[in-house]
Amino acid sequence: MRIVPVELGKNSYDIYIGNGLEQQIRDFCQQAGFSSKGLIVTDTNVGPIYGQWLQNLLQQAGLQVEVYEIPAGESSKSMMMAEKLFTKCIETGMDRKSPVFALGGGVVGDLAGFVAASYMRGVPFVQVPTSLLAQVDSSVGGKVAVNHPLGKNLIGAFYQPKAVFMDLNTLQTLPKREIYTGLGEIIKYGIIYDAQFFQYLEDNIEQVASLANEAAAHMTARSCEIKADVVSQDEKELGLRAILNFGHTAAHAIEKNTGYTKYNHGEAVAIGMVCAAYISKALGMIDQSVVDRVISLILKLHLPIKAQGCTVEDLYRDIFHDKKTVGGKVKWILMESIGQVCGNSNVPEDIVKGAMEKIV
């Protein structure tokens, strides 16, 4: 087992990564000072496989927890679903020390975290991510949110969990597409922070794509270390943390343009990273060989580089609805090299549209 600490002063917590974390979960819950009643939020994909497993574990730790399954998919990340969960918390008799457990992927974690942050002005929150994407990205860092019809993640908070438990055994039940979408975010960490890690992915394609256990442990731990390091320096995204948005400006527009149904998040991020690489080259920040390495790795890990069903005009319009846009200016995270990125809020329209032409 590996433990990755997230250092945030009084909001610090640990990420536990390994195969079979039952004892760690039980021990943590017995020592956490929780009230006896709690709630497990999961979805219709994960609940039938792991809901009873976690409920039994928590009961062994002395907690009475109910399981609430939301419909799987991005459409559940809504104010309407949050209200249903608030009602469940009230009906269950949960108080200010009652924990909310997020068991599932990023949608479950974002929604459950938003509910935990808001119910009684904040109750304890524990992440038990079961998808590769959630383990390496959304479960770490304390961003919780629901979507609005006009944009993704526009209503939310920074709210840190008390702990994150990443049981690698849960990855064994993932469909191939869910593995690949997680790899999209993993590639991002190499580009923004660690050239050696990017090289590791290039050199171990087969083990990476098949989630061989040693590769899965290394990728998950290294991704969490990078994100923890960035978040520890900039919890509220006032500066450095913005680098984690590499690929996401175009990705969110692609997701919105395709109704959040055609591409899952990691696929959209893969296309968005290609767009950002093209912009970086057009500005003279990197040469074509760097763009080629990014595209090659994305393709080898079974991810798309073009967005079907999108137009340049629609994508360009929607980047201004992104929550990272300030004063009408889009802040792009762009490449200086593999392992180094920077922010730029003054990218000319023609360069952005030129890059978008290449990804639609």
Q: Which CATH number characterizes residue 162's domain?
A: 3.40.50.1970
Is there a single domain that holds both residue 278 and residue 259? yes
Helices (H) and strands (E) in the chain, counts: 14, 11
Distance from C-alpha of 198 to C-alpha of 24, rounded to nearest angstrom? 31
CA–CA separation, 346 and 329 (whole Å): 7
Burial of 280 (0-12, 13-18, 19+ CB in 10 A): buried
151, 217: one domain: no
The verdict on 120 and 216 lying in the same domain is no
Domain's final residue, options 173, 193, 216: 173
The reported pLDDT for the residue numbered 327 is 78
Tell me what pLDDT residue 238 has: 78
* Annotation says 248 is catalytic: yes
Domain residues for the domain of 122 are 2-173
Residues 218 and 143 in one domain: no
In the set 188, 265, 281, 324, the catalytic residue is 265
Question: 225 catalytic, yes or no?
Answer: no
Residues 280 and 142 in one domain: no
* 148 is annotated as an active-site residue: no
CA distances from 81 to 41, 124, 176 (A): 11, 19, 28
Q: What is the CATH number of the domain that holds 229?
A: 1.20.1090.10
| Predicted local distance difference test score (pLDDT) of residue 288 | 98
202 tagged catalytic: no
Q: Which of 178, 225, 237, 255 is catalytic?
A: 237
- Which of 252, 256, 281, 324 is flagged as catalytic? 252
Residue where a domain stops, chosen among 173, 204, 234: 173
User: What CA–CA distance (Å, rounded) separates 294 from 271?
Assistant: 11
Q: Are residues 163 and 182 in the same domain?
A: no
CA distances 294 to 193, 277, 303, Å, are: 14, 8, 11
The per-residue pLDDT for 100 is 98
Does 325 lie in the same domain as 191? yes
Give the residue from 153, 173, 193 where a domain finishes: 173
The residue among 105, 111, 40, 38 whose CA lies nearest residue 79 is 111
Q: Tokens at residue 170, please?
A: 């849960």
CB 276 within 8 A of CB 247: yes
Residue 349 appears among annotated catalytic residues: no
Catalytic residue selected from 152, 162, 227, 281: 227
What is the distance between the alpha carbons of residues 151 and 306, in angstroms, rounded to a whole number? 21
Residues written for the chain? 360
207: left (phi over 0), alpha (psi -120 to 50) or beta: alpha
- AA letter at 219: M
Q: Does residue 227 have an active-site annotation?
A: yes
Strands annotated E in 12-124: 13-18, 37-43, 64-70, 100-104
- The single residue of 188, 218, 241, 281 carrying the catalytic annotation is 241
Question: Among this protein's residues, is 218 annotated catalytic?
Answer: no
302 as an active site residue: the answer is no
Determine the pLDDT at residue 345.
94
Q: Are residues 196 and 154 in the same domain?
A: no
Catalytic pick from 143, 162, 222, 324?
143
Are 138 and 286 contained in the same domain?
no
CA dist 142 → 121, 126, 219, 230, 292 (Å)? 15, 11, 20, 12, 33
Residue in 45, 147, 153, 245 annotated catalytic: 245
pLDDT of residue 323: 63
Pairing verdict, β 13-18 and 2-6: antiparallel
Shared-domain flag, residues 232 and 99 = no
Please tell me whether residues 185 and 322 are part of one structural domain. Answer: yes
- The answer for residues whose C-beta is within 8 angstroms of residue 230's C-beta and 6 or more apart is 193, 240, 241, 243, 244
pLDDT in tens, the chain (360 residues): 999 999 999 999 999 999 999 999 999 999 999 999 999 999 999 999 999 999 999 999 999 999 999 999 989 999 999 999 999 999 999 999 999 999 999 999 999 999 999 999 999 999 999 999 999 999 999 999 999 988 888 999 999 999 999 999 999 999 999 999 999 999 999 999 999 999 999 999 999 999 999 999 999 999 999 999 999 999 888 788 899 999 999 999 999 999 888 999 999 999 999 999 999 999 999 999 999 999 999 999 999 999 999 999 999 999 987 766 777 899 999 999 999 999 999 999 999 999 999 999
How many domains are there within the chain? 2
Whether 13 and 157 share a structural domain: yes
Instruction: Please tell me which residue in 162, 218, 248, 256 is annotated as part of the active site.
Output: 248
Q: How far apart are the first and last CA of the chain?
A: 42
